[in-house]
Structure 1
Amino acid sequence: MKFKFEDLIIWQKAMNLGEEMNSLAYKFPREELYNLSSQIRRASDSIALNISEGSILQSDAEYRKFLGYAIRSTAEVVTCLHKAKRRNYITEDDFLKFDKSCFDLMNMTIAFRNKIIKL
C-alpha cells in the first residue's frame, strides 16, 4: 500500500535532503551536537514531514499552510548551511551543492503550492 504523498517529487527530494543533512551533521564538531547538528537535522526532516502531513488534510487551504511550513523549514536548512560554512564545518563545494538542492526544492514546493491555489 502506498500513500499519495509518496509519489510527490517534492516529498522524495525532501526525504533525500533529510538523509543528506543527517549525514552531514555527523561531521560537525561534537560541541554542535545539541545546537547546529540537531537544528539542521530537525529542520531538514521537517520538510518531508510537513509535505506528508499536509497531504492528508481535507482542505486545500490547510495543505497550502503545511507547504508553507515546509518552505520555511527549507529556508532554515539554508541558514544552517551558511552557519556551517562560516564555522568551517563544510567546504564551499558542499555548501554550493546543498544550497542548490535546497533552492531547487524550495522553488518546486512553491510552484506546487501555487498550483494547489489554482485547483
Structure 2
Amino acid sequence: MRNFRDLDIWNESIKLVGKIYKLTGALPTSEKFGLISQMKRCAVSIPSNIAEGCSKDSQKNFTRFLQIALGSAFELETQLEICLELDFLTKKNVSEIISEIITLQKRMKALINYAQQKQ
C-alpha cells in the first residue's frame, strides 16, 4: 500500500480541484447542473482515483485507477475547451489551467508506464 499524500500528482491534482471550483463560479448559473457539475466531478475524480489506486494490493489495480484519473483529466481539459467554444470563459482564464492539466496528464502517464513495467 502506498501513501497517496507522497505522490506529487495527487498534491497537484488537489490544487487543481480548488482552481476548478473557483473557475466554475464564473460560468452561467444555467450550467449549474451541466458543465459546472461535470467539471467539478471530473476535477474531484482525479485525486480521488489516485488515492483509491494507492490502496490497491497490486500494480495492475494501482495502474487501473491511475488510468481512470488520467481519463478524468482529459475529460476536464475537454470541458474547458467547450467553455471556450461557448464563450463562457476566455483563453486568459483557462490557458494556465489547461497547461497545468496537460503537465499533470504527462506525469500521470509516466507513472502509469513505470507501474506497468513493474507488473
TM tier relative to shorter chain:
over 0.9
Q: Which amino acid aligns with 1:32?
A: E
The percent of aligned pairs where both chains have the same amino acid is 26
Aligned positions, number: 117
How many Å apart are 1:87 and its aligned residue? 1.5
How many Å apart are 1:4 and its aligned residue? 1.1
Q: 1:113: which partner in 2? A: 112
Given the two structures, how large is their TM-score scaled by the length of structure 1? 0.94
Q: 1:61: which partner in 2? A: 60
Provide runs of 4+ in structure 1 moved above 6 Å. Answer: none
Distance (whole Å) between structure 2 residues aligned to residue 97 and residue 88 of structure 1: 17
Give SS of 2:97's match. helix
Give SS of 1:22's match. helix
How many Å apart are 1:39 and its aligned residue? 0.4
Deviations 1:63-85 (A, max 9, x none): 10000000000000011101111
Distance (whole Å) between structure 1 residues aligned to residue 114 and residue 81 of structure 2: 30
Distance (whole Å) between structure 1 residues aligned to residue 92 and residue 22 of structure 2: 16
Distance (whole Å) between structure 2 residues aligned to residue 35 and residue 117 of structure 1: 35
Q: 1:95: which partner in 2? A: 94
Distance (whole Å) between structure 2 residues aligned to residue 106 and residue 94 of structure 1: 20
Deviations 1:49-107 (A, max 9, x none): 00000001001100100000000000000111011111212111222111101100000
- Contiguous gaps of at least 5 residues in structure 1: none
Q: 2:73: which partner in 1? A: 74
Distance (whole Å) between structure 2 residues aligned to residue 7 and residue 22 of structure 1: 24
- Contiguous gaps of at least 5 residues in structure 2: none
